Amino acid sequence: MIRIENLQFAYPGGEYTLRLPELSIESGSRTALIGPSGCGKTTLLHLMAGVLVPDSGSVTLGNHELSRLSESARRDFRAARIGLVFQEFELLDYLDVLDNVLLPFRINASLTLDAAARERATALANGAGLRDKLRRPVTRLSQGERQRVGLCRALIARPEVVLADEPTGNLDPDNKERAIEMLERHVAESGTTLVVATHDHALLPRFDRVIDFAELIS
Scanning 1-9, 25-33, 96-104, 205-213 for contacts with another protein by CB under 8 A, the matching segment is 96-104
Q: Which amino acid is at 179?
A: A
Asked if 72 touches another protein (CB under 8 A), the answer is yes
CA distance 26 to 81: 16
The residue range among 8-16, 19-27, 58-66, 98-106 that interacts with another protein, by the rule CB under 8 A, is: 98-106
CA distance 62 to 119: 28
Instruction: For the CB of residue 161, give the shortest distance to another protein in the complex, in Å.
Output: 13
How far apart, in whole angstroms, are the C-alpha atoms of residue 92 and residue 84?
A: 15
Q: How many alpha carbons fall within 13 Å on the CB side of residue 52? A: 20
Is residue 51 a contact point for another protein (CB under 8 A)? Answer: yes
Q: Residue 17 — left, alpha, or beta (φ > 0 → left; ψ -120 to 50 → alpha)?
A: beta
Nearer Cβ to another protein (82/203): 82
Helix (H) or strand (E) holding 71: helix 71-81
DSSP 8-state class, residue 146: H
d(CA 198, CA 206): 12
**61 touching another protein, by CB under 8 A:** no
Among 37, 38, 93, 205, binds another protein (CB under 8 A): 93
Could you tell me the smallest distance in angstroms from the CB atom of residue 106 to another protein?
4
Quick one: which segment of 9-17, 102-110, 172-180, 206-214 binds another protein (CB under 8 A)?
Answer: 102-110
- x/- map, 9-48, another protein, by CB under 8 A: -------------------------------------x--
- Cα end-to-end span (Å), the chain: 23
Q: What is the DSSP letter of 12?
A: T
Nearer to another protein, 1 or 51 (CB): 51
For residues 2 and 209, give the distance between their C-alpha atoms in angstroms, rounded to a whole number.
Answer: 14
**Does 53 contact another protein by CB under 8 A?**
no
- List 7, 34, 48, 49, residue binding another protein (CB under 8 A): 49
Which stretches of the chain bind another protein, using CB under 8 A?
Answer: 46, 49, 51, 72, 75-76, 78-80, 84, 86, 90, 92-95, 99, 103-108, 110-111, 113, 137, 153
